[in-house]
Amino acid sequence: MDERIADAVRVLPYYLSQHVLLSACALVLAVVLGLPLAVLAVRHPRLRWPLLTAAALIQTIPGLALLALFYPLLLGLSALVAPLVGGSLPALGFLPSVLALTLYAVLPILRNAVAGLSGVNADVIEAANAVGMTRRQRLLRIEAPLAAPVAMAGIRTAAVWTIGGATLSTVVGQTSLGNYIFSGLQTENWLFVLFGCAAAAALALVTDQLLGLVEVGATRRNRRHLLAGLAGLAVGIAAALMPLLWGPARGYVIGAKNFSEQFILAELIAERLEREGATAQLREGLGSAVIFRALASGDIDVYVDYSGTLWTNVMGRHDAPPREAMLRDLSRWLGEHHHVEVLGALGFENAYVLAMRRERASELGVTTIAELARHAPQLSFGSDLEFLSRPEWSALRRAYALDFRFERSYSPTFMYRALAAGDVDVISAFSSDGRIAAQDLLVLEDPRHAIPAYDALILISPRRSADPVLRRALAPLIGAIAVERMREANFMVDRSTNPVAPGEAARFLAGLPGPKPAGPGPP
């Protein structure tokens, strides 16, 4: 328990500074965008409705979806402008996060500023005209100060939303306090989830109070309140950003998808790089589709993917050739089409498999997917969040004419719980998952080879392909991880009693001293 708090506190300065930097930039941009739009909307009543409606529409898009949409948008934009600027826009991390959060924050700022400006007394406006003010003078000297308290209230609202919404940017590879929440959710480290929520809430609360001081200053025309609030904000932002000055240099960027094995392997790669004297940072929780493109475009330098996933998702192939032929074709194709290098296989496979509780399977007399297909209409199916939209699922359905009573998606942790609780009868599991042994699940055979091999491969981005440090650091990992050890490492993180952080499991994999795998682990 204490160790996990210490873990959380150790990364707090870095997470917090990233979170503050992101939120502050988004809020400033939203103010810079929102206030002039409000002036425009008030001066041209015809623009008012379209502007407010557009801002409100953006608000109706769920925050997570808006962030996700910016990834393909920036990729497309990057392809357009690349020939012009001679480089590419980063489609992951800070840029999409700050853009999405900015759009999100515009509505409260725009709406309140419009309300504030429209609320200025008509007699005061007439007097401003009559004493000989130009439109600009009237705006700056009369309308803006009189609208300031209402506009400031909108900025406060936007600040709280932005700080809350910034936790979602973890998904597109931007470090934030959301890293606690997403990795905690994945590894059932509820303390981490709670810590992340509390940190974000505290940050929002402090910011709101400081902006409140500015608002009071603006309302009562009290310069002391105004300056105190602004000074507090400036000092807070500066203090929060301090760790960035001597924080980890960018170094190598290691990608990870959103499950424990990926977290562990990313930590393992980081550990290897650090042992070679290099610095590394992790981009965790990336989606399967996003992560390969992030590698190909150089947003991340290295990550571990699985041959079958690349074969079907990236190459778009539906056949399942023998392992060696597949690996050969895949390596050649990735090099030719994306300049991505397959450094080598780690030595274990993490295939998609279908799994059932053993007693339920014997009750039905099912050992293969072909036998399962006969009972499927009476059975329910649980999958992780992406399996149902993956080609492997269509391949399975085609090969076996699978048709379940219903299908449901869960985050992996909850998927295993749902199976244990009997909410679903069959799940899509990972063959390297420690929970298969721990929960005594039966992995169904695939006699028609509908699902290809899933060897874990280290992939290297085009711009790092000639990097000697990276090669030297990662060479010892090739062929070095047997599936049993990977399962043990996975289970150390995923077990519900006494789980460890992915970094600890990585140390175990690397053969470094650390906690022994304990508890009802796999054999």
Partner 1 sequence: MSAAALIEIDNVSKSFDGGRSFAVREASVAVRAGAFVAMVGASGSGKTTTLKTINRLIEPDRGEVRIEGMSVAEIAGPMLRRRIGYVFQGIGLFPHLRISENIGITPQLLGWPPAAIAERTREVLALVGLSAAYLARFPDALSGGERQRVAVARAIAARPRIVLMDEPFGQLDPVTRDAIGSAYRALHDQLGLTTIMVTHDVQEAVLLADQIVVMAAGRVAAHDTPRALMASRADPDVSALMAMPRRQAERVRAVLSDAGNSDG
Gap between the Cα atoms of 229 and 219, Å rounded: 13
Find the shortest distance in angstroms from Cβ 115 to partner 1. 17
User: Smallest Cα–Cα separation from 384: which of 353, 421, 349?
Assistant: 353
- Nearest CB to partner 1, comparing residues 1 and 130: 130
Q: Which of the residues 117 through 146 are near partner 1 (CB under 8 A)?
A: 121-134, 137, 142, 145-146
- Token pair 């650390």: residue: 514
Binding letters toward partner 1, positions 167-206, x by CB under 8 A: ----------------------------------------
Binding letters toward partner 1, positions 472-511, x by CB under 8 A: ----------------------------------------
The three-state secondary structure class of 52 is: helix
Gap between the Cα atoms of 383 and 319, Å rounded: 22
Examine residue 226 and tell whether it contacts partner 1 (CB under 8 A). no
Find the shortest distance in angstroms from Cβ 131 to partner 1. 5
Are 369 and 413 within 8 A, CB to CB?
no
Are 74 and 174 within 8 A, CB to CB?
no
Strands ordered across the beta sheet of 352-357: 406-409, 380-383, 426-430, 352-357, 441-443
For the chain, helix, strand, coil in percent to 5 are 65, 10, 25
Find the shortest distance in angstroms from Cβ 118 to partner 1. 16
Find the shortest distance in angstroms from Cβ 135 to partner 1. 9
Find the shortest distance in angstroms from Cβ 132 to partner 1. 3
Find the shortest distance in angstroms from Cβ 409 to partner 1. 56
Find the shortest distance in angstroms from Cβ 35 to partner 1. 18
- Nearest CB to partner 1, comparing residues 131 and 518: 131
Find the shortest distance in angstroms from Cβ 28 to partner 1. 25
- Nearest CB to partner 1, comparing residues 135 and 358: 135
For helices 190-219 and 144-165, angle between their N-to-C axes, nearest 10 degrees: 180
- Nearest CB to partner 1, comparing residues 82 and 124: 124
Find the shortest distance in angstroms from Cβ 71 to partner 1. 46
User: Smallest Cα–Cα separation from 191: which of 414, 1, 16?
Assistant: 1
Examine residue 45 and tell whether it contacts partner 1 (CB under 8 A). no
Examine residue 221 and tell whether it contacts partner 1 (CB under 8 A). yes
Gap between the Cα atoms of 245 and 412, Å rounded: 37
Find the shortest distance in angstroms from Cβ 220 to partner 1. 10
- Nearest CB to partner 1, comparing residues 136 and 516: 136
- Nearest CB to partner 1, comparing residues 123 and 336: 123
Beta-sheet pairing, 302-306 with 455-460: antiparallel
Beta-sheet pairing, 302-306 with 352-357: unpaired
- Nearest CB to partner 1, comparing residues 133 and 289: 133
Chain Cα centroid distance, residue 275: 27
- Nearest CB to partner 1, comparing residues 224 and 472: 224
Gap between the Cα atoms of 161 and 169, Å rounded: 13
Q: Which of the residues 63 through 82 are near partner 1 (CB under 8 A)?
A: none
Q: Which of the residues 142 through 171 are near partner 1 (CB under 8 A)?
A: 142, 145-146
Chain Cα centroid distance, residue 288: 11
- Nearest CB to partner 1, comparing residues 142 and 379: 142
- Nearest CB to partner 1, comparing residues 129 and 496: 129
**Cβ burial 234-248 (10 Å sphere, 16+ → b, else e):** eebeeebbebeeeee
Beta-sheet pairing, 352-357 with 426-430: antiparallel
Pair of tokens at residue 191 = 């303390």
Examine residue 222 and tell whether it contacts partner 1 (CB under 8 A). no
Gap between the Cα atoms of 313 and 494, Å rounded: 27
Are 330 and 315 within 8 A, CB to CB?
yes
Find the shortest distance in angstroms from Cβ 140 to partner 1. 12
Number of residues that bind partner 1 (CB under 8 A): 19
- Nearest CB to partner 1, comparing residues 152 and 399: 152
> Which residues here bind partner 1, judged by CB under 8 A?
121-134, 137, 142, 145-146, 221
